[in-house]
Amino acid sequence: MAFGSFEYFDKSISAPGVRLDEPAHRAPRHILSANQFTIDDVDDFCHLADDFEAGFVPTQLNRRAVALLFFQSSTRTRLGFEAATVALGAHAIGMDDMSASRSNAKIGETLEDCAAVISRLCDAIVVRHHEPGAAARMASTADAPVINAGDGWNEHPTQALIDIYALRRGLGSLRGKSLAFGGDPRGRVVRSLMQLLRFEGPREIVFCPPDKYDIPADVLSAIAEFQIPHRRISNIDRALIECDAIMMAPYDMSAIGEPGSSNYVAPHETPEAYTITPEKIERTRSTALLYHPLPRFDEIAPGCDRLPNAMYFEQVRLSKFMRMAVLHRLLTR
């Protein structure tokens, strides 16, 4: 069955001794873009993540191998998928330095051939690459599910699932809520998360990017299509006062378009009007919940970490259960 440009397959979970409700619909074969998900997909992933957090034992996957191919640097996504793989009883394989693979710039084995080969040695591939569409290229020849763990400026769909899961946890529901986006609005996390907001019914989206940025046209057209009201503000204080949650991002995300071998360092000095500090939270008496896919630089001061507003490390804790849910559904489809 085709769904958009993605194949869907029948799936049944059979896990003796495990309380994992069988989803009423089909699981995706690959995870390439957040726009492939239905509301049922998102709900199923969240429920399954809840089950894993509650300690339910997953189906035995001890003969399964998940290949982690990180052509760009990563802390959370790479170790998050590795931790999820281990927690499922499966095994993570991969190279610590993808420049040592044959798919480096010097040797130049294509991503298509890389996927065709590696997918015959493992049961799923998780890939991060600087090139938009890299995961889709690998999916076109892979014999196993491919998960896009960030493809350049394009998308980061599993981060979006994590963000929705953490927002639902913090707010109960996003329905009728005001959600702000701080920092660079051009990043792949904003693009992917925007796709999932169509299911969540927020009252409005409030952009608070530094002056130099336009909101990407495709992000604006997605919001228009989903009929979510939006506005732009130029001081984070207003978001702290007026919004229920703020999804922060670094001041400049341009490193995500660089190859892993690049020495490029993005500027990280966030203008004062766009930084969140404990003093601002206290002065505005803000109860807005603070989220961030991380890594952070100076856009959220470390002094905020101890405040009840801070959700970003809880977001990381929850990410493991969401990644378990994603891997479990793909490996048992």
76 binds ligand CP per the rule CB under 6 A: yes
Residue in 22, 25, 39, 75 binding ligand CP, rule: CB under 6 A: 75
77 binds ligand CP per the rule CB under 6 A: yes
Please say which residue, 28 or 80, places its beta carbon nearer to ligand CP.
Answer: 80
Restricted to residues 252-271, the positions that interact with ligand CP (CB under 6 A) are: none
Residue 191 and residue 150: Cα distance in Å, rounded?
Answer: 11
Please say which residue, 201 or 267, places its beta carbon nearer to ligand CP.
Answer: 267
Return the amino acid letter for 74. Answer: S
What six digits make up the tokens of 317? 């804790």
294 binds ligand CP per the rule CB under 6 A: yes
Cross-strand partners of 27: 9
Number of Cβ within 10 Å of residue 191's Cβ equals 23
301 binds ligand CP per the rule CB under 6 A: no
CB of 313 to ligand CP, least distance (A): 12
159 binds ligand CP per the rule CB under 6 A: yes
CB of 256 to ligand CP, least distance (A): 8
Contact between residue 261 and residue 105 where contact means Cβ atoms under 8 Å apart: yes
Nearest partner of 325 among 165, 189, 168, judged by Cα: 165
User: What is the total count of residues that contact ligand CP (CB under 6 A)?
Assistant: 11
The contact mask relative to ligand CP for 111-150 (x = CB under 6 A, - = no) is: ---------------------------------------x
Segment interacting with ligand CP (CB under 6 A) among 70-78, 140-148, 219-227, 304-312: 70-78
198 binds ligand CP per the rule CB under 6 A: no
Nearest partner of 213 among 194, 232, 188, 196, judged by Cα: 232
39-57 b/e (C-beta count within 10 Å ≥ 16 → b): eebbbbbbebbbbbbeeee
Contact between residue 174 and residue 201 where contact means Cβ atoms under 8 Å apart: yes
DSSP letter for 130, please.
Answer: S
What six digits make up the tokens of 148? 């896009």
What six digits make up the tokens of 98? 């993808």
Please say which residue, 77 or 270, places its beta carbon nearer to ligand CP.
Answer: 77
Please say which residue, 220 or 294, places its beta carbon nearer to ligand CP.
Answer: 294
CB of 127 to ligand CP, least distance (A): 12
Tell me if residue 64 falls in helix, strand or coil.
Answer: coil
Contact between residue 234 and residue 213 where contact means Cβ atoms under 8 Å apart: no
275 binds ligand CP per the rule CB under 6 A: no
293 binds ligand CP per the rule CB under 6 A: yes
186 binds ligand CP per the rule CB under 6 A: no
Number of Cβ within 10 Å of residue 146's Cβ equals 28
Please say which residue, 228 or 311, places its beta carbon nearer to ligand CP.
Answer: 311
Please say which residue, 59 or 148, places its beta carbon nearer to ligand CP.
Answer: 148
154 binds ligand CP per the rule CB under 6 A: no
Residue in 74, 103, 195, 309 binding ligand CP, rule: CB under 6 A: 74
Segment interacting with ligand CP (CB under 6 A) among 140-148, 205-213, 271-279, 290-298: 290-298
Edge-first strand order for the sheet with 146-151 is 91-94, 65-70, 124-129, 146-151
Nearest partner of 77 among 131, 151, 128, judged by Cα: 128
What six digits make up the tokens of 225? 């299509």
| Residues at the site binding ligand CP, with contacts judged by CB under 6 A | 74-78, 150, 156, 159, 293-295
